Structure 1
């Protein structure tokens, strides 16, 4: 109702304003000014990224490895899951599957992202598990690779994904888009934005999407998403912002998870395609509801100092009934378990920051001071179902029934609270040299409850210090050399039902990261390079199927990336990650490769603007992911594979309106491959899919 009311008020204001302007415009000649901002590189190093306690900086100024994927990039490639979003980044391995509970799973530098702490919207936390967000509603999606303890507090050292919602624009935005995806999914998307009121004091951005149809494995999906962004220039110095996002999404006919903890072979069975309907049993479904509301104030204290405060609330619920195939042998036989449950999560966060500059003698300081509080509340159903319902073969038709008649009763399972204060100083020693130092002090508390509401476990860690330190050198204004160090602490796991020590709360894990990097962005080309080493406490299932913390896991590697424009028509780029991972220091598996960490990932992309047909662009890209170990024992691995995609876009004017047509084919060769999903889990890779869309600006 809030969104509809706001839209109505905005429309009324525009109508009144337009009546006044039409009379004045009638006496004036029409002047059309067209400007095209051409990004000559595909790395977008000038784009701002949110760095938590460091504030917002450009990628070029951030002494850590980052990636920015713009909304236009996602539209060009017609993405359906998070692995598609980062398909051109070699540091990211795809563990996701479209239209499933795993659609937001990725691995960064061989480390899985923390689904409780590794995802943000406009820098504010939400719980991402089983949530596929509406990619049409975002200006860009940012990835901060590696440890993020100083910037965001507790979290795994894989990195942080930050979704940036579309914001109010100075110029009016009016567009409608219709799309189609294999095998029968239709979507409609509306994007409206602009400013109104005296001196254009008020701004808005409204996006709405409906998607519905038949998925590639004969299931169905239905999605309704609405987001609204508002801002108001209350005074010359004080600005108010508000952002909201709502989505209700239901999918059926999901491909079951495939678990290998009971597997007896030394090689995986022959691959199957994810559109193989034989693996899907009747009754499997995933239903999610997601809400996010946030508001903030920014006050310009002086030309050099800004005070800001923000508050956000998010909630997510999911009802999931799916199969878990305990794969037994290379013939493809499995025991079929049904997992049926209802779960919910709430996040509340408050943060206050002061950012500014000051001088002490010959030195300039860029300071950030702040405090934050956040609380996460988890709800799980006391009468969840996890039962053996039959058997089958991945090469035959699943005849087991997943019918559910359970009325779930969620209970408050746990609370997780973080309180933090932080400060950083970027000390400018000269025009070329600068030093960054930062400290965050966090108090972390986790409380567990039984089904009657009684406290049954607790863990508290006070005054945890996570520092960061970086040295930066700029040989030229468009080039940054840096070396950085950062520490992180991540919450200990609550052991799941697959392990012999189910329910045990493990201790937090500490990690350290060292990085040496280079970023440069020239007129027609850009390049990045990073050497990194991450030391993290190792966690894995031992031979007795007990989830343990033992020794360390080491990740060290090299990232290279470059893109350039050749002439006026060609753009090419590439990305490479070489990764050496191992278990060390007291681990039962010393010297073994870490599960989920490929040794080599490489990407390449090319686009061509067809001179003979102005507005037509053709593109192609590929990604090679090397073989990946499935568990700490290293007795099973997923073979390497290459996926290729092609696309085309055509921008023209129809009836005086800008119109854009897009088409994309993902996995154009219909490659069959096993994909590492999680420790001891695999999934069949997504099949070839075809997407088309038409967008009209009005």
Structure 2
């Protein structure tokens, strides 16, 4: 088994909340089973219960130093959206999955091309906060497909001990499907009322001597239609997850995935200080020719080597690459009465993003003076290499936001230079989970970081270098009290380093580098498991960080300190044999305590709601075997338009309904399904932030059929 040394926080002080749903159980093939001392009996029970059927919750967490741990032993808020929830909701994107977790909102983009999200009001960075199988930092600049994922997890708060430079919003982890003892041959098809079509094949087999090898292959393709005018495109996925138990002490895993999306990108609305009346939720002020064409390839190799019964050596190496050509636009309303305004069209072609990541880690357990230690020591290196247009060419055209005219396509203007950026993040960490007795656990960790940033702006003959480096050591502590097998209390303190949001092409200081910042998080919480498999979580959290803001001169700069305090609640699992549910709620108070921009101190950070909640339930009808009906409600409260709070984006609530019917056709298991999202067809501002606003997507009915051969 993998011995997870807890890295956690440093002792806390309360103040906000955390919610969490567990992760779907898909245990990674184990290596040599370590001989467990009595304190490990709970983990053995976890493994057994992990073999139950599909569930809305799970008993396993797979992120950071908490791999293979019961959520009740993790002193942080952790949420997981399992495959069963994804299937019941017909979830197609990251936000559709994470709308089930508290404090998750869209940021800047409305989800037409990919999901930019915030957690607890803090942006989830697209280059470091998204991980594949708890390790490889993938690049969230194109929709990450869910067809080959077993579950999506969120570890909320600062995760710098294990992952390096990250904002304290949280880490999103995509866990891939793997071959199981039961062969899988599944064909999924779907169609929506706008004309979108998908087909997906999922094949898994174990083979070789004693079934020592496993292969899970997923392939998908589809036509993208969202119901928004002049938006159409296509998407595809090909992936393979291979594992090989080379010997009783050596286990290998390889994941390869390639996916692409080419779709029209509707413009965002520029936030001019007042929120305008809503356009229709199918309105598009852009043109079909404004394409977002992106492709991503991710490769991750993982090896576990059991040195003996107590120590495990882990080696990982991975690489992620994303390329995109983007013709985006922004609409600026000039006349609220008529809808007249201007459409600025940008051309950001030939963008390349590369991440490579290596990790060497030694984990083990030993006893000293009657105390049990679970120790993890590791070294990691993350290298990022970007190539972007220096100043994306732009064209300004007249347009009407409420009654858009069809605009002709434009030729690609000449590029005016490039920005090449290289970031190297070297880290060494040690974490010790000290088991004091059957009730108390103390976790402590340190990370040493050597971070270097180097960029070169090329504009004509000019060369403008920009360099920064820092070396820091950050601590993490936590204390956990296990009142019983199914009830735990914890307190934690975490300190981390984060890269700050960087000026984009539309900002006056594009190309300028904003230095990393220090964040601090305190959290106290409790977790309980009730009834059949119902996981309850409650947490108070208090986060302090340095954010960014826009000046009146349209420069993106570092602001002072911002504080986020709140309460999170969540429940996920089965109430009885017929009822399943996943629910969340967050109450939060966020405040800009200091700012270098006049008028921001004491205000609420932009796009940060004071409350969110979600509730989704499914009921299996006892009188009709195979039939289940479900429904969900998802609410996001009012959000400040900007850091000056000049206006508010209204709150919104969306409804979803669905049903699933499992039957057989000629002895072939078949599942027929219908899902209706935004059932009331409400038009609403679904997103804000960074000077942009976006409108939520229209009502969508999706019909699907799945065949198991």
TM-score (norm 2): 0.88
Which of residues 397, 401, 407 in structure 1 aligns to 2:408? 401
Residue matched to 2:539:
530
Please state how far the C-alpha of 1:329 moved relative to its aligned partner: 4.8
User: Taking structure 1 as reference, are residues 639 and 214 closer, same or farther at Cα in structure 2, changes over 3 Å only?
Assistant: closer
After TM superposition, the structure 1 = structure 2 runs for residues 500-539 of structure 1, keeping only pairs within 5 Å, are: 500-524=508-532, 525-539=534-548
CA distance in 1, matches of 2:69, 2:579: 29
User: Taking structure 1 as reference, are residues 206 and 426 closer, same or farther at Cα in structure 2, changes over 3 Å only?
Assistant: same
Residue matched to 1:132:
143
- Contact 1:83–1:96 under 8 Å retained in 2: no
Residue matched to 1:458:
467
User: Taking structure 1 as reference, are residues 69 and 486 closer, same or farther at Cα in structure 2, changes over 3 Å only?
Assistant: same
CA distance in 1, matches of 2:632, 2:550: 37
Please state how far the C-alpha of 1:504 moved relative to its aligned partner: 1.6
Please state how far the C-alpha of 1:541 moved relative to its aligned partner: 1.3
- Contact 2:179–2:204 under 8 Å retained in 1: yes
Match of 1:150, SS state, is helix
After TM superposition, the structure 1 = structure 2 runs for residues 571-590 of structure 1, keeping only pairs within 5 Å, are: 571-585=580-594, 587=596, 588=598, 589-590=600-601
Residue matched to 2:16:
none
Unaligned 5+ runs, structure 1: 1-34
Please state how far the C-alpha of 1:326 moved relative to its aligned partner: 2.1
Verify: 1:429 aligned to 2:436, yes or no.
yes
Match of 1:226, SS state, is strand
User: Taking structure 1 as reference, are residues 368 and 612 closer, same or farther at Cα in structure 2, changes over 3 Å only?
Assistant: same
CA distance in 1, matches of 2:172, 2:341: 35
Residue matched to 1:549:
558
Residue matched to 1:50:
63
Unaligned 5+ runs, structure 2: 1-49
CA distance in 2, matches of 1:453, 1:502: 15
After TM superposition, the structure 1 = structure 2 runs for residues 461-500 of structure 1, keeping only pairs within 5 Å, are: 461-462=470-471, 464-500=472-508
Residue matched to 2:652:
641
CA distance in 1, matches of 2:572, 2:111: 32
Which of residues 365, 368, 372 in structure 1 aligns to 2:380? 372
Residue matched to 1:293:
299
- Contact 1:97–1:685 under 8 Å retained in 2: no
- Contact 1:127–1:345 under 8 Å retained in 2: no
Write the deviation string for residues 149-172 of structure 1: whole angstroms up to 9, x where unpaired: 112110111111111111122221
User: Taking structure 1 as reference, are residues 481 and 383 closer, same or farther at Cα in structure 2, changes over 3 Å only?
Assistant: closer
Match of 2:454, SS state, is strand
Residue matched to 1:560:
569
Residue matched to 2:398:
391
Please state how far the C-alpha of 1:417 moved relative to its aligned partner: 0.4
Residue matched to 2:131:
120
CA distance in 1, matches of 2:102, 2:501: 28
Which deviates further from its counterpart, 473-482 or 407-416?
A: 407-416
- Contact 2:62–2:133 under 8 Å retained in 1: no
Which of residues 592, 597, 613 in structure 1 aligns to 2:603? 592
Residue matched to 1:37:
52
Which deviates further from its counterpart, 508-517 or 329-338?
A: 329-338
CA distance in 2, matches of 1:36, 1:652: 24
- Contact 2:224–2:263 under 8 Å retained in 1: no
Equivalent residues, number: 652
Which of residues 370, 382, 398 in structure 2 aligns to 1:362? 370
Write the deviation string for residues 243-273 of structure 1: whole angstroms up to 9, x where unpaired: 1001122112x2211111xx25x4x222223
> Relative CO higher for 1 or 2, CA cutoff 8 Å, sep ≥ 6?
2
Match of 1:151, SS state, is helix
User: Taking structure 1 as reference, are residues 603 and 282 closer, same or farther at Cα in structure 2, changes over 3 Å only?
Assistant: closer
Residue matched to 1:675:
686
Residue matched to 1:240:
252
Match of 1:308, SS state, is strand
- Contact 2:195–2:225 under 8 Å retained in 1: yes
Please state how far the C-alpha of 1:406 moved relative to its aligned partner: 4.5
Residue matched to 2:41:
none
CA distance in 1, matches of 2:430, 2:509: 40
- Contact 1:664–1:691 under 8 Å retained in 2: yes
Please state how far the C-alpha of 1:408 moved relative to its aligned partner: 6.0
Which of residues 393, 415, 426 in structure 1 aligns to 2:422? 415
User: Taking structure 1 as reference, are residues 301 and 564 closer, same or farther at Cα in structure 2, changes over 3 Å only?
Assistant: closer
Residue matched to 2:280:
273
User: Taking structure 1 as reference, are residues 249 and 408 closer, same or farther at Cα in structure 2, changes over 3 Å only?
Assistant: farther
Residue matched to 2:185:
174
User: Taking structure 1 as reference, are residues 104 and 410 closer, same or farther at Cα in structure 2, changes over 3 Å only?
Assistant: farther
Match of 2:84, SS state, is helix
Cα RMSD for the two superposed structures: 2.2
User: Taking structure 1 as reference, are residues 530 and 45 closer, same or farther at Cα in structure 2, changes over 3 Å only?
Assistant: farther
- Contact 1:97–1:686 under 8 Å retained in 2: no
CA distance in 2, matches of 1:595, 1:350: 36
After TM superposition, the structure 1 = structure 2 runs for residues 155-194 of structure 1, keeping only pairs within 5 Å, are: 155-194=166-205
CA distance in 2, matches of 1:96, 1:288: 18
CA distance in 2, matches of 1:37, 1:84: 25
CA distance in 2, matches of 1:550, 1:124: 31
Verify: 1:612 aligned to 2:618, yes or no.
no
Write the deviation string for residues 192-248 of structure 1: whole angstroms up to 9, x where unpaired: 112111111211111100112543124222112110011111111111211100112
- Contact 1:71–1:138 under 8 Å retained in 2: yes
Verify: 1:61 aligned to 2:76, yes or no.
no
Which of residues 103, 120, 133 in structure 2 aligns to 1:91? 103
Which deviates further from its counterpart, 206-215 or 482-491?
A: 206-215
Please state how far the C-alpha of 1:276 moved relative to its aligned partner: 1.9
Which of residues 215, 222, 235 in structure 2 aligns to 1:211? 222
User: Taking structure 1 as reference, are residues 78 and 309 closer, same or farther at Cα in structure 2, changes over 3 Å only?
Assistant: same
Please state how far the C-alpha of 1:429 moved relative to its aligned partner: 0.5
- Contact 2:546–2:560 under 8 Å retained in 1: yes
User: Taking structure 1 as reference, are residues 248 and 357 closer, same or farther at Cα in structure 2, changes over 3 Å only?
Assistant: same
Verify: 1:221 aligned to 2:233, yes or no.
yes
TM-score (norm 1): 0.89
Please state how far the C-alpha of 1:283 moved relative to its aligned partner: 1.6
CA distance in 2, matches of 1:63, 1:212: 43
Match of 2:247, SS state, is coil
Verify: 1:303 aligned to 2:309, yes or no.
yes
Please state how far the C-alpha of 1:568 moved relative to its aligned partner: 3.5
Match of 1:450, SS state, is strand
CA distance in 2, matches of 1:71, 1:677: 29
Please state how far the C-alpha of 1:695 moved relative to its aligned partner: 0.8
Please state how far the C-alpha of 1:650 moved relative to its aligned partner: 1.0
Please state how far the C-alpha of 1:573 moved relative to its aligned partner: 4.5
Residue matched to 1:20:
none
User: Taking structure 1 as reference, are residues 125 and 387 closer, same or farther at Cα in structure 2, changes over 3 Å only?
Assistant: farther
CA distance in 2, matches of 1:526, 1:196: 36
